[in-house]
Amino acid sequence: MLSAQNLQLTFNPDTPIETRALRGMSLDIPEGQFVTVIGSNGAGKSTFLNAVSGDQEIDAGTIIIDGRDVTKQTVWKRAKLVARVFQDPMAGTCEDLTIEENLALASNRGQRRGLKAAVQKAMRDEFKARLETLGLGLENRLTDRIGLLSGGQRQAVSLLMAAMRPSRILLLDEHTAALDPRTADFVLKLTARIVEENRLTTMMVTHSMRQALDVGDRTVMLHQGQVVLDVSGDERKGMDVTDLLHMFEKVRGEKISDDALLLS
Amino acid sequence: MSEYSIYGALELGLIFALVALGVLISFRVLRFPDLTVDGSFPLGGACAAVLISNGVDPFTATIVATGAGAIAGMITGLLNVKLKIMDLLASILMMIALYSINLRIMGRPNVPLISEPTVFSILQPASIPDFKAKVLIMLVIVVLVKLALDWFFSTEKGLAMRATGSNPRMARSQGVATGAMVLLGMAISNALVAMAGALYAQSNGNADISMGIGTIVIGLAAVIVGESILPSRRLVVATLAVIIGAVLYRFFIAMALNADFIGLGAQDLNLVTAILVTVALVIPIIKRKLKPKKNRV
């Protein structure tokens, strides 16, 4: 479904702060697979996600989604194929718009937007039904501004929005990192449910090794802009965080020093 | 204030309500600080005056003037979206360019419209004196524009435009071509301002190169006064609020300039405007300070 081949990206080239964010990064994700992506700070996780969504132009390489070469496509053209939930709960929704307006916006993702009424009666019923599944009581607050909701509630709505229209790939960028542990757990469970119900091809970046192994069917570790570890199937089933660490050390011949990665 | 000056203030207020609606779109909906209006207001006036004095019928002239404003707004948008010039600077560039363009259109600094027909003279019913008829005609135009804007912002496209101003990154990830939305919004905004300019010239009996000075401040004043009277994030309310704001603002000005004991004259208009806007901006801050401190949410 997604095929990223030999992606290269250097920030601030030819300056003292030159950073090679992606160094020949390649990854193929077949249809329906749920991949979790881990790596320490600066490994290129978010850059890779931004490259797939089109937020970040790359220097070289190709990105193919659903058989179409989208390397040069703008973000809004790619939106037809790519759904996305951001790390910052404020980023994925429009705080000035109401809940129903946000959902209406998402139900038109990648479609031509014309002069039809944006929110119609039939849509409202569908929004209500979908919001009910969250169990947050939001189905009674359709006309509330979404800025009035908490971060966790907004992230849950963002997930619903991402699943509003069919997509070829769903990108989740540490979307539970800014939430408190209980809310994070709720959003993660919701993620697993929505992905399963809609059989979405998904790539989830996470900072937590535990999370990376708990959900999804495959785990990929990035380091210095490349895939250094790729586990799935039976091998992954029996793994715990320590195994993952050992494998990483073996591959790289060095110890992980990023505490956040170990502790979370 | 005499009856005549009350109607005069109402009429001006309603003309500037169109400016305020335009400013609402650029400053509030798109969050694009747009000073082009100081040029597109006289642009509308210049186009209308020149066309009418050359025998074009006033309705066509007003529509052409409105279109000219739309193009001006779109060019400001292009400078920002395509050439990546900072929004404020892009609008200032367009504003000063329009000064020359307006002089070119008029061929001289002032084009009088004295005996020529205007939108107002044609629509005026014989039974009503002209200063009252102008207010009625403007009221109908402003209400129609408000309803049209309310409708537009409830459509899919209108919603996409609001999302573009509120959270462009999110809008793009939902498939909204945000650059195109900025162009469209700026075009609508400046079209309204140019329409106001065209009507102002026809009401006033001339187009003048200096008629645009301070337009943006008057528009913003109307928006700010309106928002402090009728605070709401709902756009349907906001469009009503800025219309009320524009009319009230004109009343304040008329009162200030008419009160002989203060000793203010027409030349003090912009100073009074600046002071009024400052007061309108400071009042909410003082209100907040005077309120008993509550626990922070």
Instruction: Please enumerate in sequence order all residues whose Cβ is within 8 A of that of A14, keeping only pairs 6 or more positions apart, or say none.
Output: none
Say if A120 is an interface residue toward chain B (CB within 8 Å): no
Supply the angle between the helices B156-166 and A99-106 in degrees, to the nearest 10.
110
Residues 211-240 on B with a CB inside 8 Å of A are 233
> In terms of CA atoms, which chain B residue is nearest residue A111?
B175
**Predicted pLDDT at B232:** 85
For A76-85, how does the pLDDT look when each residue is reduced to its tens digit (9 = 90+)? 999 999 999 9
Supply the angle between the helices B58-81 and B37-53 in degrees, to the nearest 10.
150
Q: What tokens were used for A146?
A: 């979404």
Lowest mean pLDDT among A25-34, A75-84, A148-157, B266-275: B266-275
**Predicted pLDDT at B285:** 82
- CA B190, CA B40: separation in Å to the nearest integer? 6
Report how far Cα B121 is from the mean position of its chain's Cα atoms. Answer: 23
Query: What are the residues facing B81 on neighbouring strands?
Result: none
Q: Do A110 and B172 touch (CB under 8 A)?
A: no
Say if B297 is an interface residue toward chain A (CB within 8 Å): no
Q: Is B15 left (phi over 0), alpha (psi -120 to 50) or beta?
A: alpha
**Predicted pLDDT at B257:** 78
- CA B45, CA B198: separation in Å to the nearest integer? 4
B chain contacts of residue A108, beta-carbon cutoff 8 Å: 156, 160, 174-175
pTM of the model: 0.91
Residues 202-261 on A with a CB inside 8 Å of B are none
Q: Do A115 and B155 touch (CB under 8 A)?
A: yes
* Residue B126 backbone dihedrals phi, psi, to 5 degrees: -65, -25
A chain contacts of residue B176, beta-carbon cutoff 8 Å: 76, 105, 113
**Predicted pLDDT at A255:** 60
Instruction: Please enumerate in sequence order all residues whose Cβ is within 8 A of that of A106, keeping only pairs 6 or more positions apart, or say none.
Output: A160, A161, A162, A164, A165, B174
- CA B139, CA B244: separation in Å to the nearest integer? 12
Q: Starting at the earlier edge strand, list the strands of the sheet with A82-85.
A: A82-85, A169-173, A202-205, A34-38, A218-223, A226-232
Mutate which of A49, A52, A74, A75 to test chain B, going by most B C-beta atoms within 10 A? A75
Q: How do strand A34-38 and strand A202-205 relate by DSSP bridges?
A: parallel
Q: Do A94 and B162 touch (CB under 8 A)?
A: yes
**What is the DSSP secondary structure assignment for residue B155, as one 8-state letter?**
B
For B47-62, how does the pLDDT look when each residue is reduced to its tens digit (9 = 90+)? 999 999 999 999 999 9
**What is the DSSP secondary structure assignment for residue A140, as one 8-state letter?**
G
Half-sphere exposure of B259 (CA within 13 A, CB side): 8
pLDDT surpassing 80 at residue A258 = no
- CA B111, CA A16: separation in Å to the nearest integer? 60
- CA B243, CA B226: separation in Å to the nearest integer? 7
Q: How far is B87 from chain A (nearest CA, A)?
A: 21
Confidence class of residue A238 from pLDDT cuts 50, 70 and 90? confident
pLDDT surpassing 60 at residue A260 = no
Q: Do B176 and A113 touch (CB under 8 A)?
A: yes
Residues of chain B with pLDDT under 50: 296-297
| A244 vs B219, higher pLDDT | B219
**Predicted pLDDT at A35:** 96
A chain contacts of residue B155, beta-carbon cutoff 8 Å: 113-118
**Predicted pLDDT at B297:** 43
**Predicted pLDDT at A253:** 65
ipTM surpasses cut 0.85: yes
Q: How far is B156 from chain A (nearest CA, A)?
A: 4
Q: Do A55 and B169 touch (CB under 8 A)?
A: yes
A chain contacts of residue B171, beta-carbon cutoff 8 Å: 94, 105
Taking alpha carbons only, the member of B138, B254, B118 closest to residue B196 is: B138
Say if A97 is an interface residue toward chain B (CB within 8 Å): yes
